[in-house]
């Protein structure tokens, strides 16, 4: 009989407590997804949309698939690097498996956070304490968020040159302000002396722990540099994937336009209110690219093709998940 670690049992109890609410959560997500997709499609010429979608060049689709494999490689590098921060080692092949299977849970399962939940559960099943697994996943998320904000600021000058309506400028500015404000709060907590009084509150203790972990990522070492580079490269690769798909669909959207607007759209799509980000991503693409004069049919075709690509890769991850057992996800014990 396989021995289950206490941390895995604890996580299982949390999971079981949420099972009773699962049907309601799925129903709400399904409703939100349907509503957002309706909003995205309601003013779109479906014949024009179908025509654009069916004209995808297979070679450019293959190029997008190849670039996606580079994202998986970068994600594996990031996971391996952050694990070392927590004094754990994992073979790169194992980190690659975590990344690939995570795509299944993020893009096929009913949540954009599914990949993170899978990693946390699987790490606990192979002996990593639940608290450590959660801190590890949150550190990766925070690092990914920080580099995404940096990419958004990099594309801001291009975006400002393309947006004509002042209200659209204010909306983009609001997204950037909120994102950078959240990041600044974490940075402040990371460098500001901890208050013993606030530390008595569980919520603040968690924030302090998260900020302390993030501070370790700010220490300039070769290991942290690799982590930052791996996180940053994923966002740039997503823009490259979208550029490849735009060429394959003959949309004529400049890569600079995609660099300026799609990171913000993908940030919004990370909000876990729909199945796999569907609906949120489509509405965001149509609106944000529309501020640069891109037709709704073109923006929607690009978003849907990007989403379908992620589903295909996620399906491959699902096959890997079905074929592998716990020992394939082994993580080495803490080292000195």
**Nearest-angstrom CA–CA distance, 149 and 205:** 25
**Nearest-angstrom CA–CA distance, 277 and 281:** 6
**Nearest-angstrom CA–CA distance, 32 and 35:** 5
Give residue-wise pLDDT tens across range 210-260: 777 888 888 888 889 999 999 999 999 999 999 999 999 999 999 999 999
248, 56 Cβ separation under 8 angstroms: yes
pLDDT at 110: 61
275, 110 Cβ separation under 8 angstroms: yes
pLDDT at 16: 52
Residue 83 has pLDDT above 60, yes or no: yes
Average pLDDT over residues 75-91: 89
Q: What pTM does this model have?
A: 0.87
Least confident piece of the model among 57-61, 89-93, 190-194, 301-305: 190-194
Give residue-wise pLDDT tens across range 287-330: 999 999 999 999 999 999 999 999 999 999 999 988 888 778 88
Cα–Cα nearest to 145, from 256, 8, 259, 271 = 271
- Going by pLDDT thresholds of 50, 70 and 90, the confidence category of residue 111 is low
Least confident piece of the model among 91-100, 117-126, 245-254: 117-126
**Nearest-angstrom CA–CA distance, 265 and 277:** 11
- Going by pLDDT thresholds of 50, 70 and 90, the confidence category of residue 2 is very low
DSSP string, 218-284: TS--HHHHHHHHHHHHHHHHHHHHHHHHHHHTT----HHHHHHHHHHHHHHHTSSSSGGGTTHHHHH
């Amino acid at each position: 009989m396989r021995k289950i670690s206490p941390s895995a049992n604890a996580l299982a109890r949390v999971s079981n407590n949420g099972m009773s609410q699962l049907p309601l959560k799925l129903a709400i997500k399904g409703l939100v997804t349907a509503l957002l997709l309706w909003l995205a499609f309601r003013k779109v010429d479906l014949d024009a949309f179908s025509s654009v979608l069916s004209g995808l060049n297979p070679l450019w689709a293959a190029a997008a698939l190849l670039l996606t494999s580079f994202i998986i490689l970068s994600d594996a590098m990031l996971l391996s690097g952050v694990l070392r921060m927590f004094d754990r080692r994992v073979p790169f092949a194992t980190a690659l498996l975590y990344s690939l299977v995570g795509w299944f849970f993020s893009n096929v399962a009913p949540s954009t956070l599914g990949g993170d939940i899978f990693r946390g559960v699987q790490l606990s099943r192979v002996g990593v304490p639940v608290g450590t697994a959660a801190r590890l996943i949150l550190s990766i998320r925070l690092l990914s968020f920080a580099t995404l904000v940096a990419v958004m600021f990099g594309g801001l000058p291009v975006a400002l040159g393309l947006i004509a309506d002042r209200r659209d400028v204010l909306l983009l500015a609001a997204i950037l302000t909120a994102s950078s404000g959240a990041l600044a709060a974490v940075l402040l907590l990371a460098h500001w002396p901890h208050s013993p009084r606030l530390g008595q509150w569980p919520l603040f203790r968690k924030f302090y722990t998260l900020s302390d972990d993030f501070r370790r990522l700010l220490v300039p070492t070769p290991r942290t540099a690799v982590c930052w580079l791996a996180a940053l490269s994923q966002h740039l690769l997503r823009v490259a994937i979208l550029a490849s798909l735009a060429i394959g669909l003959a949309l004529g959207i400049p890569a600079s336009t995609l660099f300026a607007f799609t990171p913000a759209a993908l940030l919004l799509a990370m909000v876990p209110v729909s199945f796999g980000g569907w609906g949120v991503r489509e509405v965001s693409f149509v609106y944000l690219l529309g501020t640069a004069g891109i037709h709704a049919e073109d923006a929607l075709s690009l978003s849907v093709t990007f989403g379908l690509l992620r589903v295909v890769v996620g399906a491959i991850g699902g096959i890997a998940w079905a074929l592998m057992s716990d020992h394939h996800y082994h993580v080495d014990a803490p080292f000195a």
